[in-house]
Amino acid sequence: MTWYNLNITLNGKKIPTKYFRLTSEKKEYPPCDADGNELERVQGKVERGHWINPKTQEKHDKAFRLINGKPTEEFKGRIKDVERVKEMPRNEIDIIIEKQFLIDSEELYKELKESNKALVFAGFFGTGYNVEKCYVYASDLFPNFCEMITGISSKLETGRTAILQATEIKRLREKLNGIDITLQKVSKANAEELIQI
């Protein structure tokens, strides 16, 4: 995680700050065959790339991903039907936004606006194995429309991790400064003092 310096001038006074980008951590799943045996990728040169089982040397043209101990085929397309939805207070939405959408539904808008609730469910967009949390709530900017924001990581967890890392770095810097001060007090060894000639 990289912190950048940023000076902000407020009321004629320059205030030094540091900032970092909140980014999502994507989950990686190991490639496997239909039986759940892990595979390794062989890059194509003359022939087309393929997958190989390192234990049996068996060649595979297609690989799946091992998710929760089961071989799983990738998602294709976009989410179209949602059956498992949870309601939550709108002010508890905690996500680093990856995508943002407008939803045209007056009925859903009225329902969510009156209850001040948000809906949360799992969704996917495109091909691959990336599943995102989707939050739907009544839009404040667009009357009779809802907004849907999606993402993978929680702001709270990512921010907490960054703050802990920054605190640890400060502690180590202070410790290093203490060592430097101690070293400055100690004189350097002199060869003549160590051996009598």
Residue 156: predicted pLDDT: 82
Q: Is the predicted pLDDT of residue 80 greater than 70, yes or no?
A: yes
Q: Is the predicted pLDDT of residue 172 greater than 70, yes or no?
A: yes
Q: Is the predicted pLDDT of residue 49 greater than 70, yes or no?
A: yes
Residue 25: predicted pLDDT: 74
Residue 120: predicted pLDDT: 92
Query: pLDDT grade, residue 87 (50/70/90)?
Result: very high
Mean pLDDT for 32-61 is 84
Residue 39 amino acid letter: L
Lowest-confidence region among 45-49, 77-81, 151-155: 45-49
Residue 163: predicted pLDDT: 82
* Category of 16 on φ-ψ map: left (φ > 0), alpha (ψ -120 to 50) or beta: beta
* Residues facing 81 on adjacent strands: none
DSSP label at residue 109 = H
Q: Burial of 111 by CB count in 10 Å (0-12 exposed, 13-18 middle, 19+ buried)?
A: middle
Query: pLDDT grade, residue 61 (50/70/90)?
Result: confident
Residue 36: predicted pLDDT: 87
